[in-house]
């Protein structure tokens, strides 16, 4: 199916690995021009190098960074059609999961919201004038934790819940002006958050007295009640993101799509 993205210009944040890298790759495969924002490049991103890819080094904890990324996209490619706010998860230097409400202090909460909400707000603020010109779309990558809070990663879940609320508000304001805004809410995805040294798999292995392979392959899917019995593949998230970004989804706005292996059970 032609997603009608050929020649479109997309900004993807957090694009050096995991979901963001899969989104950038898929957009390029669909003929789009991609501005990939991340703190640094990666072998995966380097493998996509070409005339249709621009990497913009950016630390989204810097309040000025989102606007610089958007400006670089317009300067290089002359327009902006798609914004994918994918950057999120643990702020730089933070390891999750983090149990208990009393564990994070005020600074932890500020950092979590800075990375998972305020960076998105700033990117959208910078992008909206250009998207209004092109009739573009925004896809915010949230989390199943936004709708299934619990006594772990409380600050992260709250930030993602705020992102879901933001998406609905933006859609109500800007859909009548031709800009669609939607959310994709992944469940646990097999990314570096889980697999890197000291990541979620290692932390949970220490908490449960097992090993990282058991956590990833068995304990985590069981603990989270994943109906599929496995963590989600990043490409499965990317496919949903790119479809929502596409004109093929012209009547979809203000929606939230759970790509979570059956994590969320409620209606």
- At the fourth CATH level, the homologous superfamily of domain 9-189+233-259 is NAD(P)-binding Rossmann-like Domain (3.40.50.720)
Model-level pTM greater than 0.85? yes
Rounded-to-integer distance, Cα 141 and Cα 138, Å: 10
Residues ≥6 apart with Cβ < 8 Å to 139: 82, 83, 84, 85, 181, 182, 183, 184, 241, 244, 245
Tokens read off for 34: 């991609």
Asked if residue 91 lies in contact with residue 112, where contact means CB atoms within 8 angstroms, the answer is yes
The pLDDT of residue 119: 98
- 182 DSSP β-pair partners: 139
Q: Which residues are catalytic?
A: 156
The pLDDT of residue 215: 85
The pLDDT of residue 35: 98
Rounded-to-integer distance, Cα 181 and Cα 167, Å: 6
The pLDDT of residue 195: 85
Asked if residue 184 lies in contact with residue 240, where contact means CB atoms within 8 angstroms, the answer is yes
Rounded-to-integer distance, Cα 64 and Cα 123, Å: 9
pLDDT in tens, the chain (267 residues): 899 999 999 999 999 999 999 999 999 999 999 999 999 999 999 999 999 999 999 999 999 999 999 999 999 999 999 999 999 999 998 988 899 999 999 999 999 999 999 999 999 999 999 999 999 999 999 999 999 988 989 999 999 999 999 999 999 999 999 999 999 999 999 998 888 888 888 888 888 888 988 888 998 899 889 999 999 999 999 999 999 999 999 999 999 999 999 999 988
Classify 131 as helix, strand or coil: helix
Express the helix, strand and coil content of the chain in percent, nearest 5 each: 45, 15, 40
What are the extents of the domains in the chain? Answer: 9-189+233-259, 190-231
The pLDDT of residue 96: 84
Classify 65 as helix, strand or coil: helix
The pLDDT of residue 193: 81
**What φ, ψ does residue 171 adopt, rounded to 5°?**
-65, -45
Q: Give the gyration radius of the chain's Cα atoms.
A: 18
Tokens read off for 102: 């009393």
Q: H-type helices in 175-218, by residue range?
A: 192-195, 200-208, 212-214
């Amino acid at each position: 199916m032609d997603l009608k993205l050929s020649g479109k210009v997309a900004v993807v944040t957090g694009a050096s690995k995991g979901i963001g890298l899969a989104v950038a790759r898929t957009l390029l495969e669909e003929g789009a021009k991609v501005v990939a924002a991340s703190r640094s490049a990666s072998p995966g991103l380097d493998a996509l190098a070409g005339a249709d890819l621009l990497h913009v080094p950016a630390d989204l904890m810097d309040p000025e960074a989102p606007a610089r990324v958007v400006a670089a996209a317009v300067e290089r490619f002359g327009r902006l059609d798609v914004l994918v706010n994918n950057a999120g998860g643990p702020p730089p230097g933070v390891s999750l999961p983090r149990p208990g409400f009393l564990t994070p202090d005020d600074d932890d909460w500020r950092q979590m919201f800075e990375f998972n909400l305020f960076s998105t707000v700033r990117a959208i603020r910078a992008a909206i004038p250009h998207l209004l010109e092109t009739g573009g779309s925004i896809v915010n990558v949230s989390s199943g934790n936004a709708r299934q809070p619990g006594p772990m990663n409380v600050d992260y879940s709250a930030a993602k819940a705020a992102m879901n609320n933001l998406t609905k508000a933006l859609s109500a304001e800007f859909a009548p002006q031709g800009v669609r805004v939607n959310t994709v809410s992944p469940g646990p995805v097999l990314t570096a958050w889980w697999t890197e040294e000291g990541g979620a798999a290692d932390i949970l292995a220490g908490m449960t007295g097992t090993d990282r392979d058991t956590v990833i392959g068995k304990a985590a899917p069981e603990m989270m009640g994943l109906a599929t019995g496995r963590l989600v593949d990043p490409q499965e998230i990317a496919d949903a993101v790119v479809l929502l970004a596409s004109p093929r989804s012209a009547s979809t706005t203000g929606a939230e799509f759970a790509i979570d292996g059956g994590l969320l059970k409620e209606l």
